[in-house]
Structure 1
């Protein structure tokens, strides 16, 4: 089973940016990374006018499209995180964006000192990634990183979970 690391924080805290930078770095050392993103607001990843969009619009409860390079599956249902993780079990690492209340190791992104209470509200916080170097830091607690310390963050993940 691939290790799972959650990247959590409030809106616009830099979760997607951190994940894309980590994925690029890990890809560069031949690690296969799967990313699962939680979107509370709903989304539509299929474009209007495509065949798969037309299939779903016609009432199909699920639609898949595949090529020699890519597969996409669209289902008209919510998929729970454990099921998604199981689907990606053969990858080297699974990075999860969001799902704050799930019980996996978490890296919490902070925009400012006002976000600090989030660290105590969540379970399994293993690290904190903060935007500003000058806001107060609790000396006891999870490992701390600055936002741009991508290589040290990646090394921490490698040494701890890979």
Structure 2
């Protein structure tokens, strides 16, 4: 299953992704998260050697340690289809995407105010809209409902 979380900056997408991933992981589901860095520039790199290899001209740089694989691929135009193909060898139940607003997958739209609602006309395949909430409890209530829906859509999994 593929699901997108989209909306404006500071609308709660990243927090919602974290909560969704945590809840589903605790229930035994395998979740992959992809974030579109849509604000320009290169995201901060977490692995120094990987950056050194890329800076030296490597098309792809992989650093592994303690079961963590950091993959950096440069000089490629990445769309979500290519990313999905790259990840297809992994065993997962949900590919949760933050961003890539123009893609075709079911979307959960996070808003900051009523003014954001005008932008809905530019989006397709909207599953639900999460209004901006000041209260943490309200945010969690929306995400809990969303996680319940996701669980209904995912194939049943035995907990290990």
Question: Structure 1-normalised TM-score?
Answer: 0.81
The residue that corresponds to 1:101 in the other structure is: 102
1:154 to 141, 147, 151: 147
SS in 1 for 2:147: helix
Question: Structure 2-normalised TM-score?
Answer: 0.82
Contact 1:64/1:71 (CA < 8 Å) preserved in 2? yes
RMSD value over aligned CA atoms?
2.0
For residues 121 and 73 of structure 1, the distance between their equivalents in structure 2, rounded to whole angstroms, comes to 32
Does 1 or 2 have the higher relative contact order (CA < 8 Å, sep 6+)? 2
Q: Which runs of 5+ in 1 are unaligned?
A: 134-145
How far residue 66 of structure 1 moved from its aligned partner, in angstroms, is: 1.5
The residue that corresponds to 2:125 in the other structure is: 124
Contact 2:93/2:154 (CA < 8 Å) preserved in 1? no
For residues 20 and 120 of structure 1, the distance between their equivalents in structure 2, rounded to whole angstroms, comes to 27
- CA 1:91/1:121 → structure 2, altered by over 3 Å: closer, same or farther? same
Corresponding residue pairs, total: 147
For residues 51 and 159 of structure 1, the distance between their equivalents in structure 2, rounded to whole angstroms, comes to 42
Offset from partner CA, 1:59-96 (integer Å, 9 cap, x none)? 22221111341111111123220121223333110110
How far residue 161 of structure 1 moved from its aligned partner, in angstroms, is: 4.5
Query: Which one has the bigger helix percentage?
Result: 2
Contact 1:108/1:129 (CA < 8 Å) preserved in 2? yes
